[in-house]
Structure 1
Amino acid sequence: MKRLLAAALMMMTATFALGQSSGALRVYFADVEGGQATLFVMPSGESLLVDTGWPDHNNRDADRIVELCKQAGVKKIDNLLITHFHIDHAGGIPQLAAKMPIGRFIDHGPNRETTDKPTEDSWNAYQKVLADGHYQHMVAKPGDILPVKGMHVEVISADGNLISTPLAGAGQANPFCASSPLKPIENSENDRSLGTLITFGQVRILDLGDLTWGEERPLMCPVNKLGKVDIYVVSHHGFDRSSSPALVDAIAPRVAIMDNGAVKGADPGAWTIIRNSPRIKDHPGNLWQLHTAIHNDAAHNTEDSRIANLPGPDAGHYLVLTVRHNGSFSVTNERTQTTVDYPAKH
């Protein structure tokens, strides 16, 4: 009995430690099966959720987000940012709004992909939520600083537009432009993604939604308007329509986190670009995935300890990024209850 009580206490302590870190930013990467739902929780308790995953599936994605909010001590989503209106990013809005209070919605403006029925359905359902509730609503533009307390959130891209001048400390010539092939703009909601650069203390986190290869180009060539980042939330789930060498090699992330699904994203081409980027190639374990990409071989998946969900029954495991003001951060794999620490850069 004593051993059982001790084991239970250890499990409770581990869970509490995972959900709480005094003075740190916590970022939860929910498993929404190849969509996106990323929850930022500031030390003050203020929250920012980026996207809501899919609709339907018996409320699967909304329930997973709500459960993460409970673990993080979040009773209200203060800010809900919708990167774009594809169903895997915006489809879960009505289900989530029925389960959690939401303060402010942030988006790029109207849906531009009106010929795609699932996207139109997501947009129309979102408009109904806005009309039925008493929410604040903000349409963001490049260069805006979002009203999120506790971290600096600057809009990089929105509605097909991009920042026109380099961020502070950036603007150097990008040597990777010459070797990065050109790809056309898709003219889809992906091109319209609301992308942000988030700064907490000394750590910079880049999340461009599903911004495409063609839209990345003006950000990075001929000069790198972003500079280097510490954490790259891999664009577009790791599809090779995003994450060009001109972007990934120039931002040179220390860590990349890919919200792929078992059969979605993690294309070998994009995966290889990220894996071989300047600050990851010598530390391959610094690439994290939400799922083993079962359509890839072992050479195009990161090591199992850096994957939240291995092949098998749907378990909904997630990753947690903990960022400290001094520039150090860590990534925890909830499946294994293990943490990898990254020291502050010098």
Structure 2
Amino acid sequence: MKKAGLWIISVLCGFMALIGLFSLPASWGLLFFIIPALLFNPKFQDFLSNRKFEITKTMAIAAVVLPLVTTMVSAATSPQSTSSTQFASSMAATVSSTPSSSITASSDSPSTAGSSSNATTTSLASSAVPQVNRSSSPAPSSGAKLKVHYMDVGQGDSEFLELPNKQTMLIDAGNSDNGTQIVSYIKALGYNKIDYLIATHPHADHIGGMATVVSKLNIGKIYMPKKSTNTKTYEKLLVAIQNKGLKIHTAKAGVNIVKVGNLNIDIMAPVYITGDDLNEYSAVIKVTYGNNKFLFMGDAGEESERQITADVKADVLKVGHHGSKTSTSQSFLNKVKPKYAVIEVGAGNSYGHPTSAALTRLQNIGATIYRTDKDGTIVFTSDSKTITVNKKASSIKQNAP
């Protein structure tokens, strides 16, 4: 009877290790279940016994506790929340009932949009070799247009891209009450699917309406930085993603989202940000269509700007952090050299955005400035060679802060 119990534990632990292997890198902690899988295997125990090696009680307990701890750590450092992860966690709980153990997991602190937040600290290292997207995406046809909609969502960010290969991308989704408005806006343009959904960072004025977007539209791939928080807005988004069985791809420097024909979409940051400021973990996206380039900064500040070593030169800059004084540094602007700058900001907001310092730097670099609080929704159109601008092309109801 004892041997049968050992076989069950060994098989369960081996299964957990296999789940970890096929879920890399998100579930790396499960790989350590290979240790109890071997240690409790009756055949392996006989092998050790023949060599006069005795498995002590301390060794057995340690063999179970170690994979439980590594599983908790890998779960805490990943924003992914999928049914497979939950299944793995429940299996881990079953195995842990053999030798008793106690695991304490740390929780994140709530964050406030526009300020630093206490959250699980995760270091994001840059990739030496770009991770190229291998999925089949159609190439743009000759003369196809790229349209970038900088939507007026008040004090928040949301950009909808009609890509020239007939796919779509949404970067951020404003505040919670912008969700339905954004969905209606996209459907009015004739789309029911977002091929690439980017949550630049988990602040409420960027992901507030995203749960609604995920629930009401078809979603292809989702990209989010590996930085979590425990706010209800963030948790609501994770639940919406889980309910649709979607997988979260890590947004970090070196990741390529699209590379077809003369259309290229890359993630430029975060590079190796540490600390608790969620803004600095913002996914920075560069869209290149022929000779035209668009750069989307999320709420990235000067620290992230300094770490980006890739080419950030762009025709159109979505200004970081709504034009705050801690973003859009002079040294960074000297690298971007934008012809146009778009600031997404709410009229009369309490943060003082955009700051006079940011506006002065943009003016000195020679950029034409557009603001959603003054110009409404702004649409840029590119044919891969030239860019045209249409102010107040359409509107999203504005949120006063």
Q: Do both proteins adopt the same fold according to a TM-score greater than 0.5, normalized to the shorter chain?
A: yes
TM-score of Structure 1 vs Structure 2, range by shorter chain: 0.5 to 0.7
Closer, same or farther: CA 291–189 of 1 in aligned 2, 3 Å: same
Q: What residue number does 2:343 align with?
A: 258
1:298-309 residue pairs with structure 2 within 5 A? 307-308=375-376
Aligned mate of 1:49, from 142, 148, 170: 170
Is 1:45–1:73's contact at 8 Å kept on the other side of the alignment? no
Q: For residues 211 and 336 of structure 1, what CA distance do their matches in structure 2 show?
A: 27
TM-superposed CA distance for 1:148, in Å, is: 6.9
Q: Deviations over 1:136-159 (max 9, x none)?
A: 43112211101476731111102x
TM-superposed CA distance for 1:110, in Å, is: 3.4
Q: What residue number does 2:307 align with?
A: 218
Q: Deviations over 1:151-208 (max 9, x none)?
A: 31111102x527xxxxxxxxxxxxxxxxxxxxxx973110111111110111111112
Quick check: 1:230 aligned with 2:315? yes
Whichever residue aligns with residue 155 of structure 2, its letter is G
Q: For residues 139 and 48 of structure 1, what CA distance do their matches in structure 2 show?
A: 16
Q: Deviations over 1:95-135 (max 9, x none)?
A: 22232222221111231xx4xx6xx2222112211211132
Quick check: 1:139 aligned with 2:250? yes
Is 2:295–2:312's contact at 8 Å kept on the other side of the alignment? no
Q: What residue number does 2:4 align with?
A: none
Q: What residue number does 2:326 align with?
A: 241
Whichever residue aligns with residue 390 of structure 2, its letter is T
Aligned mate of 2:266, from 148, 151, 154: 154
Quick check: 1:68 aligned with 2:185? yes
Whichever residue aligns with residue 319 of structure 1, its letter is I
Q: Deviations over 1:56-112 (max 9, x none)?
A: x3xxx123212321233212111110100000001212222232222221111231x
Is 1:48–1:148's contact at 8 Å kept on the other side of the alignment? no
Is 2:272–2:307's contact at 8 Å kept on the other side of the alignment? no
1:1-346 residue pairs with structure 2 within 5 A? 23-55=144-176, 57=177, 61-111=178-228, 114=229, 120-147=231-258, 151-158=263-270, 161=272, 187-219=276-308, 225-264=310-349, 265-277=353-365, 279-280=366-367, 286-292=368-374, 307-308=375-376, 318-325=377-384, 327-334=385-392
Q: What residue number does 1:300 align with?
A: none
Closer, same or farther: CA 148–254 of 1 in aligned 2, 3 Å: same
Bigger radius of gyration among the two: 2
Aligned residues: 250
TM-superposed CA distance for 1:33, in Å, is: 0.6
TM-superposed CA distance for 1:251, in Å, is: 1.3
Q: What secondary structure sits across from 1:321 in the alignment?
A: strand
TM-superposed CA distance for 1:22, in Å, is: 6.2
Q: For residues 22 and 69 of structure 1, what CA distance do their matches in structure 2 show?
A: 23
Q: For residues 132 and 110 of structure 1, what CA distance do their matches in structure 2 show?
A: 21
TM-superposed CA distance for 1:267, in Å, is: 1.1
TM-score normalized with structure 1 length: 0.67
Q: For residues 110 and 187 of structure 1, what CA distance do their matches in structure 2 show?
A: 9
Is 2:258–2:266's contact at 8 Å kept on the other side of the alignment? no
Q: What secondary structure sits across from 2:372 in the alignment?
A: strand
Which stretch shifts more, 200-209 or 95-104?
95-104
Superposed CA RMSD: 2.4
Is 2:227–2:278's contact at 8 Å kept on the other side of the alignment? no
TM-superposed CA distance for 1:238, in Å, is: 0.8
Closer, same or farther: CA 81–121 of 1 in aligned 2, 3 Å: same
Give the structure with the larger strand fraction. Answer: 1
Unaligned 5+ runs, structure 1: 1-20, 163-184, 281-285, 293-306, 309-317, 338-346
Q: For residues 166 and 190 of structure 2, what CA distance do their matches in structure 1 show?
A: 8
Closer, same or farther: CA 145–261 of 1 in aligned 2, 3 Å: same
Closer, same or farther: CA 149–189 of 1 in aligned 2, 3 Å: farther
TM-superposed CA distance for 1:269, in Å, is: 1.0
Is 1:141–1:157's contact at 8 Å kept on the other side of the alignment? yes
Q: For residues 24 and 289 of structure 1, what CA distance do their matches in structure 2 show?
A: 23
Q: For residues 355 and 198 of structure 2, what CA distance do their matches in structure 1 show?
A: 26
Unaligned 5+ runs, structure 2: 1-141, 396-401
Q: For residues 260 and 250 of structure 2, what CA distance do their matches in structure 1 show?
A: 18
Q: What residue number does 2:12 align with?
A: none
Q: What residue number does 1:13 align with?
A: none
Is 1:186–1:212's contact at 8 Å kept on the other side of the alignment? no
Q: What secondary structure sits across from 2:361 in the alignment?
A: helix
Whichever residue aligns with residue 192 of structure 1, its letter is Y
Report sequence identity in percent.
24
Q: Deviations over 1:16-64 (max 9, x none)?
A: xxxxx96100111111112111001113321000001111x3xxx1232
Closer, same or farther: CA 35–227 of 1 in aligned 2, 3 Å: closer
